[in-house]
Amino acid sequence: MKRNIIVLGGGLVGSVIARDLAKRHNVTVAEISEERRNYLHTFGLKTVHLDAGPSGMIKQLVKDYDLVVGALPGHLGFNAAKEILEAGKNLVDISFFPEDVFLLDDLAKRNHCVAVFDCGVAQGTGNIILGHHHRSAKVVRYSCLVGGLPVVRQWPWEYRAVFSPADVIEEYTRPARYVQNSQVVIREALSDTESIHFDGIGTLESWNSDGLRTLIQTMSDIPDMIEKTLRYPGCVEYLRVLRAGGFFSKESIEVNGQMIRPLDVTSALLFPQWKLQPGEEDYTIMRIEIDVNTNGAISTHTYNLLDRYDKDQNIISMARTTGYTCNAVVELLLDGTYAMVGVSPPEFVGQTENCFARIIQYLKERNVNYHCATHRSLSKL
């Protein structure tokens, strides 16, 4: 049965979410940019103007829809989600806002809403996979390495920003948290660089980023957990120089009598250089390792993903891997397979019977393939 869905945000990922959902449902995209709205019209999508500023605007906007998908920049995500839940609407969100998602739990429960946050690739699919294993086994280690990169390396950055560039810079400055020996460890972002080989790609660098998010709270019985970001070798050093030089600072300084934030100047310079050009190809790479303890013997489940730009549909890989995971969960909410009232991070979805297999199948049908291998240790702890 077709349902009425509104997608808030029609950017690179939001547009792909809308295009995919529109094959089965009535979809409207709320987008601030007229240029993006005109682009979405070329796919036959209905659009409305989005103004996320005034309080109550989003609450009014979503009132007539069966479900809302949040695909806004992170700095807008929390307040938008609050208004959506105040309107009593179920929500699947990929905005990755910095606030604690569980601050919205009471509101969601009060209004009998199902709200799944961080529902992309990472965070997102990795959490779902971990939740699946955590449901039936004693997990003792979780590691996720993930990155989205352009196929063609262009000096000096060798990078393109698919999500909100402001959210990308936040990743370079926000302290990274991971869990080691059941203790939360806090390190600066871009730290503990390692070189790692990936078949089909070559050597990439991994570094600490604050990617565990809800897992620190929801999977506190797992003694070792870490997520690291992947980039081309050498990229990290440039970013460290910019950060150490104050180019990412939000503290205003005086320049020729004007007070400006270094971050704003840096953003204005970098964002045009980081923008994906039409037809430019990218790929998403992820490696997840999950160790489980069965009567003292350790088994390691390794999931590898190497997804590439879809030339036929002109869809970038990061939008595919993020958007299709989001949509798989949307379908689970719409048909009642996942119906836990309150705030749910994606690991809760993975822990729910039948959800993991449905999501993996949904992705597979769209040629997003996670290849799993299991290695069993001969020794016991």
CATH, residue 254: 3.30.360.10
SS3 content of the chain, % helix, strand, coil (to 5): 35, 30, 35
**Of the candidates 291, 298, 290, which has an alpha carbon nearest to the alpha carbon of residue 379?**
298
153 and 291 within one domain = yes
Evaluate whether 133 touches 290 at the Cβ level (below 8 Å): yes
267 and 364 within one domain = no
In a domain, 214, yes or no: yes
In a domain, 377, yes or no: no
- Read off the pLDDT of each residue in 334-352 and give the average, rounded to a whole number: 97
Decide: helix, strand or coil at residue 300.
strand
Q: Where are the alpha helices (DSSP H) in 187-261?
A: 215-218, 235-244
Q: Is the pLDDT assigned to residue 380 strictly greater than 60?
A: no
36 and 58 within one domain = yes
Q: Is the pLDDT assigned to residue 328 strictly greater than 60?
A: yes
350 and 298 within one domain = no
Domain count, the chain: 2
Give the structural domain span for 111: 4-122+318-368
165 and 23 within one domain = no
Q: What is the pLDDT of residues 113-134, one digit of tens each?
A: 999 999 999 899 999 999 999 9
Evaluate whether 15 touches 36 at the Cβ level (below 8 Å): yes
In a domain, 285, yes or no: yes
329 and 190 within one domain = no
Give pLDDT, residue 379.
54
271 and 145 within one domain = yes
302 and 158 within one domain = yes
Query: Mean pLDDT in the chain?
Result: 94
Give pLDDT, residue 168.
83
Please report which confidence band the pLDDT of residue 171 belongs to, taking 50, 70 and 90 as the band edges: confident
